Chains A and B, each alone.
Chain A
Amino acid sequence: MIEIKNLSKTFRTAEGEVEALKNVSLSIADGDIFGIIGMSGAGKSTLVRTINMLERPTEGSVVIDGVDMGALSDKELRAKRREITMIFQGFNLLMQKTCLDNVCFPLKLSGLRGEKKWREKRAMELLETVGLADKAKAYPAQLSGGQQQRVAIARALATNPKVLLCDEATSALDPTTTASILDLIRTINEKTGITVIIITHQMSVVESACRHVAILDGGVIAERGEVGEVFSHPKSAAAKRLVYPEGDAAVSAAVPGERTIRVVFNGREATATPLIAHMAAEKGIEANISYASTKTIEGREYGSMLLGIRGGGETVRAAIEYLTKSPDVLAEEVEPDV
């Protein structure tokens, strides 16, 4: 259990004080995959660095399994950090060492210096877990980005940590590689029960990997909850900006003479009937899809659409009535800006 209590962090810069985090409180359950999402500059990286005290909070505390991280001595903190390891956007491998030596590195740090054979055996097992046993003797420069991140994951797991912090771990990777790295993280989470905290600016990463999410905006937690819930009913302005990146611009761009309905899919079964086509067939209401972004998470549909409906208020009301009859679908008329 990770408890972040009333955490604030202020940086002193030449231009004055910058409040990166303001009174942040969060608790993250053991074994969870927890996403922290926000725009750049929202304070995500600062927040994740306060968890292992790479960044000392100005106020507040981080308590992991009852241990106040801020109260530990340097030596105790170093020992504790072996239980809370981290992977990074830039992989941060030792470029002059082989993959095997990179994975051995945290074991060597932990004082098991004499046991070289044991360390290498453990490192090989981990490289097998991440599917890179054949690259043990290769140097990081000879690997692709995705492979380097796999080595970094093996390294992070070497000391059998309880928590894995992922700081924009997939931001430097292409979508296919991102998916395979997230797959690996999920598999490891299921197998070992490790708690995973994923820092990202990408909605897709949270959707495909996380169970819970917190939205960080301007150093403040704007919203938190289960991923499906937050992404289907975004309440805060920050969450709406993330979920409906089309914003008002798309609404105002609607065709003249049409009225606009926003349809939100809130975990509707992906195999259910094609909703919009059926509305046309059954009710004779033709909808012009001006924007759609839907995703399937664990067999359920999430996302939103903007429909342009021709006709008066009667038609729009009928359409909304038809759409909302379907379970896990919300519909509302939205006003164009202009």
Chain B
Amino acid sequence: MFEKLFAPEVLEEAGMIIRTQFPLAIWETVYVTILSTAFAIVIGLPLGVILVVGEKNGIRPLPAWLMRTLNVVINLLRSVPFLILMVLVFPLTRLIVGTVVGTVASIVPLVIAAFPFIARLAEGSLREVNPNTIEMAQSLGASPMQIITQVMIPESVPSLISNATIAITTILGYSAMSGIIGGGGLGKIAMNYGYYRYKYLIMVAAVVLLIVLVQAFQSIGTRLAVKSDKRLKNQG
């Protein structure tokens, strides 16, 4: 099997596929991941805020039934396996994008899968804000909205960046899975060439590139989180 894997004609074919298909695939993976994460943050961050401030002892308590519903919906969405979720949201995808296959169409299930996850991560970050700091803002006459926008979110920026990094790497993994429904990118190549046509070399190359991308996102995210944190002493 191995002599076949590295046979000259196999290597040549693999080289050609890598040269012609990989640049677009990398680009598709990156933009689908970043776009999906961005949309998921737009939906998930406000939900994370609501999860914290809307509690019984929060700064802006909301009706208990509303909080319970929100928690159940988030848990429900998080329990559905991504593969199943992609199929389940077909009607919604068709409504928004007009089709259920393709790279753009894969963004819809990615956002649906990621926003509940991001809501929970944001919830965790915002809970880390010292309650005494919130009390301080209240003592100075801050309204709940001012506490959210001027205290809770700015004070938890380093933690939010760390968690956004976790989210983006997870979504990258999901986006590779969306190759199944025709979502473009490295996942699709790994699937089409490696899984369906037994071209293992291509599959390995695609997986290695995915690993490199995860590493890149993670180290950029970690660096940004550390740099943004003014609690660390001896900074300029």
Would A142 and B135 count as touching, CB distance under 8 A? no
Tell me how far the C-beta of A329 lies from the nearest C-beta in chain B, rounded to whole angstroms.
Answer: 44
Cβ-based interface call for A272 (8 A): no
Tell me how far the C-beta of B234 lies from the nearest C-beta in chain A, rounded to whole angstroms.
Answer: 7
Beta-carbon nearest neighbor of A84 in chain B: B139
Tell me how far the C-beta of A123 lies from the nearest C-beta in chain B, rounded to whole angstroms.
Answer: 14
B231 contact set on A, CB distance < 8 A:
95-96, 139, 141
Interface segment among B25-33, B151-159, B195-203: the answer is: B151-159
If the complex has contacts A95-B230, A142-B233, are A54 and B135 also in contact, measured as CB distance less than 8 A?
A: yes
Would B230 and A139 count as touching, CB distance under 8 A? yes
Beta-carbon nearest neighbor of B138 in chain A: A54
Cβ-based interface call for A5 (8 A): no
Cβ-based interface call for B132 (8 A): yes
If the complex has contacts A54-B135, A92-B135, are A106 and B234 also in contact, measured as CB distance less than 8 A?
A: no
B residues 119-173 touching A (CB-CB < 8 Å) = 130, 132-133, 135-143, 146, 150-151, 154-155, 157-158
Q: Which of A90, A96, A140 has the most CB of B within 10 A?
A: A96
User: How far does the alpha carbon of A131 sit from the alpha carbon of B140 in the complex, in Å?
Assistant: 22
A82 contact set on B, CB distance < 8 A:
140-141
B residues 7-25 touching A (CB-CB < 8 Å) = none
Would A142 and B234 count as touching, CB distance under 8 A? yes
Cβ-based interface call for A324 (8 A): no
User: How far does the alpha carbon of A106 sit from the alpha carbon of B147 in the complex, in Å?
Assistant: 12
Cβ-based interface call for B69 (8 A): no
User: How far does the alpha carbon of A77 sit from the alpha carbon of B142 in the complex, in Å?
Assistant: 10
Would A85 and B157 count as touching, CB distance under 8 A? no
A79 contact set on B, CB distance < 8 A:
141
Would B154 and A94 count as touching, CB distance under 8 A? yes
Beta-carbon nearest neighbor of A139 in chain B: B230
Please report the total number of B residues contacting A with Cβ < 8 Å.
27
B residues 217-236 touching A (CB-CB < 8 Å) = 228-235
User: How far does the alpha carbon of A67 sit from the alpha carbon of B140 in the complex, in Å?
Assistant: 18
Would B139 and A86 count as touching, CB distance under 8 A? yes
Beta-carbon nearest neighbor of A80 in chain B: B141
Q: Among the listed A90, A93, A94, A110, which residue makes an inter-chain contact with B141, where contact means beta carbons less than 8 Å apart?
A: A110
Cβ-based interface call for A159 (8 A): yes
Would A139 and B235 count as touching, CB distance under 8 A? yes
A109 contact set on B, CB distance < 8 A:
137, 140-142, 146, 150
Cβ-based interface call for A108 (8 A): yes
Q: Which of B136, B137, B142, B232 has the most CB of A within 10 A?
A: B136
Beta-carbon nearest neighbor of B157 in chain A: A96
Q: Which of B130, B143, B230 has the most CB of A within 10 A?
A: B230
If the complex has contacts A78-B141, A81-B140, A95-B231, are A90 and B155 also in contact, measured as CB distance less than 8 A?
A: no
Would A90 and B233 count as touching, CB distance under 8 A? no
Q: How large is the interface on A (under 10, 10 to 19, 20 to 34, 35 or more residues)?
A: 20 to 34
A residues 190-244 touching B (CB-CB < 8 Å) = none
User: How far does the alpha carbon of A264 sit from the alpha carbon of B235 in the complex, in Å?
Assistant: 54
Tell me how far the C-beta of B57 lies from the nearest C-beta in chain A, rounded to whole angstroms.
Answer: 12
Beta-carbon nearest neighbor of A106 in chain B: B140
Q: Among the listed A54, A94, A156, which residue makes an inter-chain contact with B133, where contact means beta carbons less than 8 Å apart?
A: A94
Cβ-based interface call for A52 (8 A): yes
Cβ-based interface call for A322 (8 A): no
Q: Among the listed A77, A92, A141, A142, which residue makes an inter-chain contact with B136, where contact means beta carbons less than 8 Å apart?
A: A92
Q: Among the listed A54, A86, A96, which residue makes an inter-chain contact with B155, where contact means beta carbons less than 8 Å apart?
A: A96
Beta-carbon nearest neighbor of B134 in chain A: A92
Encoded as 1 (CB less than 8 Å from any B CB) or 0, chain A from 87 to 123 comes to 0101011111100000001101110000000000000
User: How far does the alpha carbon of A92 sit from the alpha carbon of B155 in the complex, in Å?
Assistant: 12
Beta-carbon nearest neighbor of A82 in chain B: B141
Would A88 and B132 count as touching, CB distance under 8 A? yes
A142 contact set on B, CB distance < 8 A:
233-235
A94 contact set on B, CB distance < 8 A:
133, 151, 154-155
A165 contact set on B, CB distance < 8 A:
139
User: How far does the alpha carbon of A77 sit from the alpha carbon of B231 in the complex, in Å?
Assistant: 32
If the complex has contacts A78-B143, A81-B140, A109-B150, are A96 and B135 also in contact, measured as CB distance less than 8 A?
A: no
User: How far does the alpha carbon of A92 sit from the alpha carbon of B133 in the complex, in Å?
Assistant: 5
What are 8 of the A-B contact pairs (CB < 8 Å)? Answer: A78-B141, A81-B140, A85-B140, A88-B132, A94-B151, A95-B230, A109-B141, A156-B140
Other A-B pairs beyond A80-B141, A81-B140, 14, CB < 8 Å: A78-B141, A79-B141, A85-B140, A88-B135, A92-B133, A92-B136, A94-B154, A94-B155, A95-B133, A95-B231, A97-B230, A105-B150, A155-B140, A165-B139
